[in-house]
Amino acid sequence: MSRRLRTLMAALCALPLAFAAAPSAHAADPTTMTNGFYVDPNSSARRWVAANPGDGRAAAINASIANTPMARWFGSWSGTIGTATGAYVGAADYQDKLPILVAYNIYNRDYCGGHSAGGAASPSAYASWIAQFAGGIAARPAIVVLEPDSLGDYGCMTQAQIDEREAMLAGALAEFNRQAPNTWVYMDAGNPRWADAATMARRLHEAGLRQAHGFSLNVSNYFTTAENTAYGNAVNNELAARYGYTKPFVVDTSRNGNGSNGQWCNPSGRRIGTPTRTGGGAEMLLWIKTPGESDGNCGVGTGSTAGQFLPEVAYKMIYGY
């Protein structure tokens, strides 16, 4: 069955029938509307390989990283956001592949950590930005990871700021459900060492998790898939006990091949993990952070900025040293 026919059938099936309850706004399954995951042709790893074909590290980085499907992150650097997301999912749709996008522009982003501080200028500016983000995707199939770290660290925030953040996330989910019916949105839920399962379940629920397809774990971190699966199951146990529902979850496996050594900011000795796939203990194992991209001016990335591609770090991560 062609991609366009599958899309049309999914759209028709999503129409509410007379005298029947309308189906869930996020009921469509984008994995069945596509044929595998999309490889970003303009990822930082691919750009580096193309620019450095004679480098002795290029072949390994090309084979092990650059051609693995992984997420593209969108923020203030992306220009007109609806145009940017539309072009990206359109390119993936043309190839009948499923793109992975990260929305990373919430107001007061990384407020307590600071390495990736920034984001939209105000809650209203964020609401406009995320509405355009969703509108760019429209009815085409996609996966979106919503605002990494946003629920992980409330330590330096006032209750008013927490309420404001959770309202922004709930508003974002409403936009995706309204404008992007074939997108699965995963709210980010940090990692197993950030907040206990009960705390994270409460934060997810208060930020509107019921509207989302699921939640994401380990984004830009290093904890093993087994640790994350246990944590995700624990969060679901709390959700079931407190609120009467559970959600699927995905795990960022891009850099968790050796697990964590307790450091989160460019630690040495880490290794790439299981390439992007469905299943594997979670609903999906995804490369959300690009291996070799810096976490900030720290660790083995001293002197770099967050998001900068470091070929030596990428090369060592392939082999785990």
pLDDT in tens, 230-276: 999 999 999 999 999 999 999 999 999 999 999 999 999 999 999 99
C-alpha–C-alpha distance, residues 109 and 103, integer Å = 11
Using the predicted structure, report yes or no on whether residue 218 has a pLDDT greater than 70.
Answer: yes
What does pLDDT average to over the chain? 92
Which of 85, 153, 87, 144 shows the shortest CA–CA distance to 116?
A: 153
Q: pLDDT tens-digit profile of 176-196?
A: 999 999 999 999 999 999 999
Question: Which pLDDT score, from 0 to 100, does residue 14 have?
Answer: 41
Evaluate whether 229 touches 279 at the Cβ level (below 8 Å). Answer: no
Higher pLDDT, 146 or 25: 146
- The yes-or-no verdict on residue 17 having pLDDT over 70 is no
pLDDT of residue 16: 37
Supply the Cα-derived Rg of the chain in whole angstroms. Answer: 19
Cβ atoms of 296 and 57 within 8 Å: the answer is no
| Pairing outcome for strands 277-278 and 284-286 | antiparallel
Please give the pLDDT value at position 110.
Answer: 83
Pairwise CA distance, residues 291 & 60, whole Å: 13
pLDDT given for residue 20 in this prediction: 31
The residue-averaged pLDDT of 293-306 equals 93
Q: Are the C-beta atoms of residues 191 and 221 closer than 8 Å to each other?
A: yes
Alpha carbon distance, N-terminus to C-terminus of the chain? 45
Provide mean pLDDT across the span 76-94: 98
The candidate with the shortest Cα–Cα distance to 278, out of 106, 80, 4, 29, is 29
Give 117's pLDDT tier (boundaries 50, 70, 90): confident
| pTM for the whole structure | 0.91
**3-state class (DSSP) for residue 102:** strand
Q: What are the tens digits of pLDDT across the range 263-280?
A: 999 999 999 999 999 999
pLDDT over 50 at 205, yes or no: yes
Q: What is the mean pLDDT of residues 303-308?
A: 92
Burial class for 73, CB neighbours closer than 10 Å (0-12, 13-18, 19+): buried
Assign 18 a pLDDT band (cuts: 50, 70, 90): very low
CA distance 224 to 247: 20
The predicted structure's pLDDT at residue 27: 58
Cross-strand bridge partners of residue 100: 143
Residues with active-site annotation: 149
Distance CA 321, CA 70 (A): 22
Tell me the three-class secondary structure of 141-171, residue by residue: CEEEEECCCCCCCCCCCCHHHHHHHHHHHHH
